[in-house]
Amino acid sequence: MAQARAQAQNQDERALVKYLVGAGLGSRRHCAALVLSGYVTVNGDIAESLTLQVTHRDNIEVDGRLVTARRTGHVYLLANKPDGHLSSVTDDRGRPTVIDLVPRALRVNGLVPAGRLDLHSTGLILLTDDGELVNRVTHPRYEVEKEYHVTLDGVLTPSGSSKLRNGLTIETGEARALAVRRLHEENGYRYSITLNEGRKREVRLLFRAIGRQVTALQRVRIGNLLVDRIKEGDVVEMTPHELASLQRLVGMSVPEPASSGKQTPVQKQGPPTSGRRGTPSNPRRGGSAPGVRRTDKRPRVR
């Protein structure tokens, strides 16, 4: 029987880099770079070997976040973009982007924002590597509503509100608001405006066309997705219920989720910092396995 257990364990073992690829973290090259850069720990030790043999019983973390090889399919994230972050994947001028908010364990190949917000606008952004969902959320044909809360430099008159709903000609063409309302519960000239497009600077240009200037803008809703539970600068994984609801909204056929799950923030953490390299010892006494080194930042998980 002991021999059978040993054989089963051997069959479950795989090289660390293969395990990370199986967890959906990207290509083999990307996963190898994570290991070689010191972002991967195995049972609390910083991994040094791409071929280190691991199993599902090991505690494997990337940049402080637990990962498992059971993840399949696409990654679906929601971010609350802060002021000063670009809604892009990279920037040749080195400015921060929304991808910088995403923990490395979730930065899979092809991860992009579905729609954009201006540099100084804040609020909800959907990030995914599912190209079909990106297309349906952003294309006007699917009429996915986007709601924004704006602060204006003055009062919005009934005439101005009517013009927004009836439609105006702006730099990018004809545009109109689906709904406009005053946010009476908030101080200042605060309004909600809902569109089913998301062209560049569309909200700001609409208000400029009626003589008003937007001094602050936050996207609070995309379809059925809300920003109110996400702290500014945080990233969360979409719950199965949220994902299924959004997919149905844009006409994608999906099975009913088994449960909604609980949405929890994923805090961005700095890269693991290695401590002094430990002296090899007897594994039965808790020494580090070959291919890993101890780090003082995290206790060893047994």
Residues annotated as catalytic (active site), given as ranges:
118
| Rounded Cα–Cα distance for residues 143 and 250 (Å) | 8
State how far the Cα of 118 lies from the Cα of 86, in Å rounded to an integer: 7
Beta strands of 48-121 (E only): which ranges? 53-54, 60-62, 65-66, 76-81, 112-113
Q: Tell me the CA distances in angstroms from 273 to 62, 79, 103, one per residue in order.
A: 13, 26, 16
CA distance 162 to 89: 37
Determine contact, residues 192/180, Cβ cutoff 8 Å. yes
Give the tokens for residue 233: 């600068």
| Whole-angstrom Cα Rg for the chain | 24
